[in-house]
Amino acid sequence: MPRFRTRTAALPALATAAVMLLCSCSAGAGEGDAAKGKGAGGAPKSGQRLTVTLGTAEDSKGPAPEVRGAREGGTIKIANLKDYSHLDPQKIYAGEGYSTSLLWGRQLTQYQVVDGKPKLVGDLATDTGRSSDGGRTWTYTLKDGVAWEDGQPITSEHVKYGIERTFAPGFELGPTYWPEWLTGSEDRTAAVKKYGGPKDGHLDAIETPDAKTLVFRFPKPQSDVPYMAAQSSSSPVREDKDTGTGYDTRPFATGPYKIVEHKQNQSLTLERNPHWKAETDPIRHQYAERFEFTFGKKILNTAQEVLNGRGDGADTVTTKSEVPPELYAEAQRDAKKKDLLVAGSQGAYTNDLYIKNSRVTDPEVRKAIHYLFPREQARQVLGGPRVGDFATTLSSPAVVGWKKYDLYPVKPTGDIEKAKEHLARAKNKPESLTYAYETESPQDDRLAQVLVDAFAKAGIKLVTKPLEPAAFTSEVFRGDAPYDLWISTNSVDWPTPSTLLPDSYHSKLDALANGIRYANPAVDKELERIADIGDARQKADALIDLEQVVMKDVPVVPFLYTGVTQFRGENIGGAAIHPIYGSIAAAGLYLKKS
Partner 1 sequence: MTGYVLRRALQAAAVLLAITAAAFGLFYAAPSDPALIACGPKCDTGQVEAVRHSMGLDQPLAGQYADYLRGLVAGRVIDDVDGTPIDCAAPCLGYSYTLHQPVLDAIGDRFPVTLSLAGGALAVIVVLGVGVGFAAALRRGTATDRLLSGFTLVGASVQIYFLGYALQYLLVYTTDLFPVPGYTPFGDGPGAWAAGLLLPWLVLGFVNAAVFARLARSQMLETMHEGYVRTARGKGMSALRAHLKYTGRGAAAPLAQLLGLEAGALFGGAFITETVFGLGGVGKLAVDAVVQNDLPTVVGTVLLAAFFVVLFVALADLVVAWLDPRVRLA
268 - beta bridge partners?
Answer: 262, 293
Q: Does 63 bind partner 1 (CB under 8 A)?
A: no
Shortest separation between residue 85's beta carbon and partner 1, angstroms: 8
SS3 248: helix
Site string for partner 1, 277-296 (x = CB under 8 A): ------------------xx
Q: Return the number of other C-beta atoms located less than 10 Å from residue 162's C-beta.
A: 25
Q: Select 151 or 169, whichever has its Cβ closest to partner 1.
A: 169
Q: Residue from 312, 445, 535, 553 that binds partner 1 (CB under 8 A)?
A: 312
Shortest separation between residue 12's beta carbon and partner 1, angstroms: 15
Shortest separation between residue 313's beta carbon and partner 1, angstroms: 8
Q: Select 273 or 302, whichever has its Cβ closest to partner 1.
A: 302
CA distance 525 to 593: 59
Contact call for residues 259 and 104 (beta carbons, < 8 A):
yes
Half-sphere exposure of 553 (CA within 13 A, CB side): 22
Q: Select 472 or 518, whichever has its Cβ closest to partner 1.
A: 472
Stretch that binds partner 1, among 50-58, 308-316, 524-532, 573-581 (CB under 8 A): 308-316
Stretch that binds partner 1, among 220-228, 298-306, 392-400, 569-577 (CB under 8 A): 298-306
CA distance 19 to 332: 8
Which residues, 6+ apart, have CB-to-CB distance to 23 below 8 Å? none
CA distance 582 to 342: 11
Of 302, 131, 83, 359, give the one whose Cα is nearest residue 227. 131
Contact call for residues 107 and 581 (beta carbons, < 8 A):
no
Q: Does 260 bind partner 1 (CB under 8 A)?
A: no
Q: Select 83 or 415, whichever has its Cβ closest to partner 1.
A: 83
Contacts (CB under 8 A) with partner 1, residues 150-189 = 169-170, 172-173, 188-189
Contacts (CB under 8 A) with partner 1, residues 226-255 = 244-246, 248-249
Q: Does 310 bind partner 1 (CB under 8 A)?
A: yes
Contact call for residues 566 and 582 (beta carbons, < 8 A):
no
Q: Select 139 or 249, whichever has its Cβ closest to partner 1.
A: 249
Which amino acid belongs to residue 235? S
Shortest separation between residue 349's beta carbon and partner 1, angstroms: 22
Shortest separation between residue 249's beta carbon and partner 1, angstroms: 6
Q: Select 51 or 499, whichever has its Cβ closest to partner 1.
A: 499
Q: Which helix (H) or strand (E) holds 536?
A: helix 536-552
Shortest separation between residue 421's beta carbon and partner 1, angstroms: 42
Which amino acid belongs to residue 126? T
CA distance 285 to 273: 11
Q: Select 311 or 363, whichever has its Cβ closest to partner 1.
A: 311
CA dist 89 to 5, 93, 107, 404, Å?
Answer: 18, 9, 9, 35
Strand order in the sheet with 213-217: 130-132, 137-141, 213-217, 206-210
Q: Select 160 or 165, whichever has its Cβ closest to partner 1.
A: 165
Contacts (CB under 8 A) with partner 1, residues 470-509 = 473-474
Contact call for residues 254 and 124 (beta carbons, < 8 A):
yes
Stated length of the chain: 594
Q: Select 111 or 181, whichever has its Cβ closest to partner 1.
A: 181
Q: Does 88 bind partner 1 (CB under 8 A)?
A: no
Shortest separation between residue 173's beta carbon and partner 1, angstroms: 5
Of 566, 572, 568, give the one whose Cα is nearest residue 590. 572
Q: Does 133 bind partner 1 (CB under 8 A)?
A: no
Q: Does 305 bind partner 1 (CB under 8 A)?
A: yes
Sign of CA dihedral 403, 229, 514, 185: positive
Q: Residue from 304, 441, 464, 594 that binds partner 1 (CB under 8 A)?
A: 304
Q: Select 300 or 467, whichever has its Cβ closest to partner 1.
A: 300
Q: Select 266 or 413, whichever has its Cβ closest to partner 1.
A: 266
Stretch that binds partner 1, among 297-305, 339-347, 423-431, 447-455 (CB under 8 A): 297-305
Stretch that binds partner 1, among 14-22, 216-224, 264-272, 383-391 (CB under 8 A): 264-272
Q: SS3 breakdown of the chain: % helix, strand, coil, rounded to 5? A: 30, 20, 45
Q: Residue from 275, 297, 446, 465 that binds partner 1 (CB under 8 A)?
A: 297
Q: Return the number of other C-beta atoms located less than 10 Å from residue 558's C-beta.
A: 23
Q: Which helix (H) or strand (E) holds 590?
A: strand 590-591
Q: Select 313 or 555, whichever has its Cβ closest to partner 1.
A: 313
Stretch that binds partner 1, among 116-124, 265-273, 376-384, 572-580 (CB under 8 A): 265-273
Shortest separation between residue 520's beta carbon and partner 1, angstroms: 27
Q: Does 32 bind partner 1 (CB under 8 A)?
A: no
Stretch that binds partner 1, among 220-228, 302-310, 332-340, 517-525 (CB under 8 A): 302-310
Classify burial at 235, counting beta carbons within 10 Å of its beta carbon; exposed 0-12, middle 13-18, buried 19 or more.
Answer: buried
Strand order in the sheet with 53-54: 53-54, 117-122, 109-114
CA distance 181 to 491: 21
Q: Contacts with partner 1: how many residues (CB under 8 A)?
A: 33
Q: Does 333 bind partner 1 (CB under 8 A)?
A: no
Contact call for residues 366 and 427 (beta carbons, < 8 A):
no
Q: Select 77 or 539, whichever has its Cβ closest to partner 1.
A: 77
Angle separating helix axes 442-457 and 363-372, nearest 10 degrees: 120
CA distance 413 to 93: 36
Q: Select 111 or 472, whichever has its Cβ closest to partner 1.
A: 472
Pairing relationship of beta strands 572-573 and 432-438 according to DSSP bridges: unpaired
Contacts (CB under 8 A) with partner 1, residues 379-398 = none
Q: Select 264 or 449, whichever has its Cβ closest to partner 1.
A: 264
Stretch that binds partner 1, among 8-16, 202-210, 309-317, 331-339 (CB under 8 A): 309-317
Which chain residues interact with partner 1 by CB under 8 A?
1, 169-170, 172-173, 188-189, 244-246, 248-249, 263-267, 295-298, 300-302, 304-305, 308, 310-313, 473-474
